[in-house]
Chain A
């Protein structure tokens, strides 16, 4: 005769096995998801031909059993890679990347401050956009005409702001996540395209993928391609 204790124990084991398997599949699958919201101005026909991509701010951490650790150097490399991949993906939509103000001018403090202030303004606006992303379609969000202070190339139609956060796991933490559950390695990007003349938010997209953000180059490109899928190609 099998005792109730043994039955409960074996059921528990089966549940744990199934949960573990599902988590394993979720963790290992090349999960890519993205949502995108377009301003009515560009929903049908894009007027975006030239963009300036401001320096991306993508921060990742290494999550270990002893807590998250900073990855400042890797974050910087990843920021540059994301910027370049965004430029590649947009180029396939006939959208050309123009040089950013900080790198093109190289002048004193005022230019640096202006870029920092515009980036900070986007950071202030971002939580509001994320709270009600669908309002981008109503043309609710704007950064105002202060964007003109960047003194961009006259042909610039829009400014691209990139933010991101993610984590990679140490091998110990990977095992822990497989057994117990928890957040897998991932990268989530928050990208806003803003009208370079009046600051209106024209597009917001937040692609996300599961995988090591420092090595998953293909997943990054696929996630970005999906993220900009609805953006009409420039003419």
Chain B
């Protein structure tokens, strides 16, 4: 893969890829100090994935996108995966680029991941964080001054207006702030396209990656008053128009970078890790979606089949996909409010009280049992499937079957990290 060069991605009508003339002020250095500590905190809190292969993949793609020989003051490039099932990526101004496992698991090929990294790299290269921070600080000062004026001008027309403005000022100021952010996001998208072309990644994959992210599996993309990114549909529109003839030139390397199988082979273990994180975070529909992708890719992998079984078991009485009605903005807002109040166990109990919930539960438990048994019958059987069967039978009230499966799991994986938990379950079941 040819490394990108500054000349290769320079466009006369566009600003240079990197803001090399940036002068650091005190506020910028303070921000830098804070983000350096943030890096350490992610690491300490167990949020960074300790998987050298994944971090090496991210590093390889990231470094291939960077302009050759470019040195930026106070930037030291680090590419890391974050253990988070929500698809997301962000860049810290010190050069740390984080991609969530949720995003890694949703991409179809290396080029789409390159699109995400190119976007984030631009934020660092163009010093967007510092510029945004400076702008926020100015606006916040204005907001404080407005509050002071409002407080000392009670009554009267001007006073009332100022009072209202002050009351909703955080939103107005934030909207302006995030509006400013949208310009920077747009710049990152367009510069990202240039970087992709220079590094021989097919640029249209950025649009495809965005389209993949519009698949709102959990019903959580709610249109609010403002967004930190331009809306996905809007981005797809302006990116498609920017691509134009740029997408016509296709090199053999670009074809290679588009390969789905190669990407899946490299990220299979991350995808499995992400399914567990999705289940932990009660994102059961995402877990089923991702596990199905893995099984479609590698149907005879006992581990993949196990994760699909695990996803269906935990999906329980929920429907595997949201309906159009459930995906309406108002319905998503209502669901978000309910999620704030209700625990997943309470949600499950409520659904089980409905005929549709019972039907889903029955279907999913059956599917899960079939898949667990399949995971045990394939080559290199997955012993954790015994634990899954144990949990399934325990819920179905098949106590002796549950104890048997749990015991098999303990026998086959004597040093399992959750051995104590399963042993306690066996003891409790024996007492009943």
Number of A-B contacts (CB under 8 A): 90
B251 at the interface (CB under 8 A from A): no
A37 at the interface (CB under 8 A from B): no
Given A116-B45, A121-B280, are A131 and B425 neighbors across the interface (CB < 8 Å)?
Answer: no
A14 at the interface (CB under 8 A from B): no
Q: Tell me if B's interface is mostly helix, strand, loop or mixed.
A: helix
Q: How far in angstroms is the closest Cβ of chain B from A201? A: 11
B430 at the interface (CB under 8 A from A): no
Expressed in whole angstroms, the Cα–Cα distance for A145 and B429 within the complex equals 14
B46 at the interface (CB under 8 A from A): yes
Q: Tell me if A's interface is mostly helix, strand, loop or mixed.
A: helix
Give a binary string over A184-216; 1 marks a CB under 8 Å from any B CB, 0 the rest: 000000000000010000000000000000000
Question: In this complex, what residue of B is CB-closest to A149?
Answer: B418
A110 at the interface (CB under 8 A from B): yes
Contacting pair A124 B151 (CB below 8 A): no
- Among B33, B281, B345, B417, max chain A CB count under 10 A is at B417
Expressed in whole angstroms, the Cα–Cα distance for A128 and B340 within the complex equals 6
- With an 8 Å Cβ cutoff, the count of chain A residues facing the other chain is 44
Expressed in whole angstroms, the Cα–Cα distance for A81 and B353 within the complex equals 47
Question: In this complex, what residue of B is CB-closest to A72?
Answer: B37
Contacting pair B425 A145 (CB below 8 A): yes
Which of B141, B152, B341, B421 is the one whose CB lies under 8 Å from A145? B421
Given A120-B280, A149-B421, A151-B420, are A66 and B137 neighbors across the interface (CB < 8 Å)?
Answer: yes
Expressed in whole angstroms, the Cα–Cα distance for A183 and B113 within the complex equals 43
B343 at the interface (CB under 8 A from A): yes
> Hey, which chain A residues are within 8 Å of B83, CB to CB?
113, 116
- Chain B positions 380-402 with a Cβ under 8 Å from a chain A Cβ: none
A106 at the interface (CB under 8 A from B): no
> Hey, which chain A residues are within 8 Å of B417, CB to CB?
110-111, 114, 149, 151
> Hey, which chain A residues are within 8 Å of B37, CB to CB?
70, 72-73, 76
Q: How far in angstroms is the closest Cβ of chain B from A231? A: 24
Q: How far in angstroms is the closest Cβ of chain B from A193? A: 18
Contacting pair A120 B281 (CB below 8 A): yes
Question: In this complex, what residue of A is CB-closest to B418?
Answer: A149
Which of A108, A131, A149 is the one whose CB lies under 8 Å from B341? A131
Given A12-B154, A113-B83, A128-B341, are A176 and B45 neighbors across the interface (CB < 8 Å)?
Answer: no
Which of A110, A114, A125, A179 is the one whose CB lies under 8 Å from B343? A125
> Hey, which chain B residues are within 8 Å of A179, CB to CB?
148, 151
> Hey, which chain B residues are within 8 Å of A151, CB to CB?
417, 420
Expressed in whole angstroms, the Cα–Cα distance for A108 and B50 within the complex equals 9
Contacting pair A148 B418 (CB below 8 A): yes
Which of B46, B343, B425 is the one whose CB lies under 8 Å from A128? B343
Q: How far in angstroms is the closest Cβ of chain A from B394? A: 11
> Hey, which chain A residues are within 8 Å of B46, CB to CB?
112-113, 115-117, 119
B233 at the interface (CB under 8 A from A): no
Q: How far in angstroms is the closest Cβ of chain A from B98? A: 15
> Hey, which chain B residues are within 8 Å of A182, CB to CB?
147
Contacting pair A72 B148 (CB below 8 A): no
Contacting pair A65 B341 (CB below 8 A): no
Q: How far in angstroms is the closest Cβ of chain A from B53? A: 13
Contacting pair A109 B50 (CB below 8 A): yes
Contacting pair B148 A124 (CB below 8 A): no
A161 at the interface (CB under 8 A from B): no
Question: In this complex, what residue of A is CB-closest to B36?
Answer: A72
Expressed in whole angstroms, the Cα–Cα distance for A109 and B55 within the complex equals 15
Contacting pair A65 B141 (CB below 8 A): yes
Expressed in whole angstroms, the Cα–Cα distance for A199 and B234 within the complex equals 45
The 4 A-B residue pairs whose C-beta atoms are closest, nearest first, are A116-B46, A67-B140, A72-B37, A148-B421
Can you give 12 contacting A-B residue pairs, CB < 8 Å? A16-B152, A55-B45, A66-B27, A69-B34, A116-B45, A117-B46, A117-B277, A119-B45, A119-B46, A128-B343, A149-B417, A197-B424
B interface, CB within 8 angstroms of A: 27, 30, 33-34, 37-38, 41, 45-47, 50, 83, 136-138, 140-141, 144, 147-148, 151-152, 154, 277, 280-282, 340-343, 345, 417-418, 420-421, 424-425
**Given known contacts A72-B37, A145-B425, what 14 new A-B pairs fall within 8 Å (CB)?**
A16-B152, A55-B45, A66-B27, A67-B140, A67-B141, A117-B46, A120-B280, A121-B280, A124-B281, A128-B342, A131-B341, A141-B343, A176-B148, A179-B151
